[in-house]
Amino acid sequence: MINDMARIMNDLQVVTSTLSPEVDMQKLEVRLEEIMSNYEIHRKSEKDIENDIQDKIELYLSARKVEGLAKETIRGYTGELNRFAKFINKPVVQITTSDIRKYLASNENNMASTVDRKLSAIKTFFSWLVTEELLLRDPSTKIKPPKKPKRLPKGLSVEELEVVRESCISRRERAMMEVMYSTGCRLSEVQRMKIDDINMQEMNMRVIGKGDKERIVYISFKCLHHVKGYLNIRKDDCEQLFVTERRPIRAMTNRAIERSVDQIEQRTKLSKKLTPHTFRHTFGTLAMENGADLADVQQLMGHEDPSTTLVYAHVSENRKKQAHKKYHMQ
């Protein structure tokens, strides 16, 4: 087929190269008929077209790896796109907007945030295909993201934070909890932390956030005290800040950190769910409650979009009351 197309294009080039500026379309049509009579052309059936969706996904993921996309993001895209490919099971060129909508609606139990994440991965994939000229049109363009319910982040109150502190029974638990709260870091950022990233004198820490972007976060005196206490009992030479307690000593995984927080939660008996992200929410909420500037909180938390930080800008009834007394003109 490729050789036939090459011959057709070659013959057509020979014809068009001999044309004068004033083309006689009738003669051109006759000549094209003469050329095309040497070929038998038929439209491929759906079965004849190669199902290339998995190959295109692998090509896309390889390109994103080269671009330096974070491993966690690559892993997320891989899972989402593989599930999409299994559901659709047809060549990329044949995928329609309706196909994508059917996939997104295939599980009624999916929350809006889950559907939004799936759509985001699909949109990024098709956008890349069009940009790379591997596809002429993007079937996901017309699909709008679902409306997500606006929920306030569930952070801990000052009193609840103290309960959590008192529920930590090991130096590792306490140091980990203080680092997550003091820095407001994401789980993946905490998992990547290394001892050498800590500047004891400046009381700050270098972290690698989303998209492998580096930023500086700060730690409190209390946090520094417990981190030093944890490091003093360590007898290993592992460079990671938080490591396993059993040998071979190695960096804790994301899941291991989550399990450690789960164990703390079981002892607190709080009504709120305790996760690594709860401490991040607590950091953002309490910072805003104490009058921190929105732009400062955005930088500290590593948010690219200011609107992401706005979820922490809600204020308590007491703060609203005080603001009214302070700023209302009588």
By annotation, the residues acting in catalysis are 186, 210, 277, 280, 303, 312
What lies within 8 Å, CB to CB, of 156 at 6+ separation is: 164, 270, 272, 278, 279, 281, 282
Contact status, residue 53 vs residue 92, Cβ threshold 8 Å = yes
Contact status, residue 190 vs residue 227, Cβ threshold 8 Å = no
- Strand extents, DSSP E, the chain: 198-199, 204-208, 214-218
Q: Please state the separation of Cα 251 from the chain's center in Å.
A: 23
Burial (CB count <10 Å: 0-12, 13-18, 19+), residue 134 = middle
**Residue 234 corresponds to which tokens in the numbers above?**
């360590």
Check the CA dihedral 96-114-70-143 and report its sign: positive
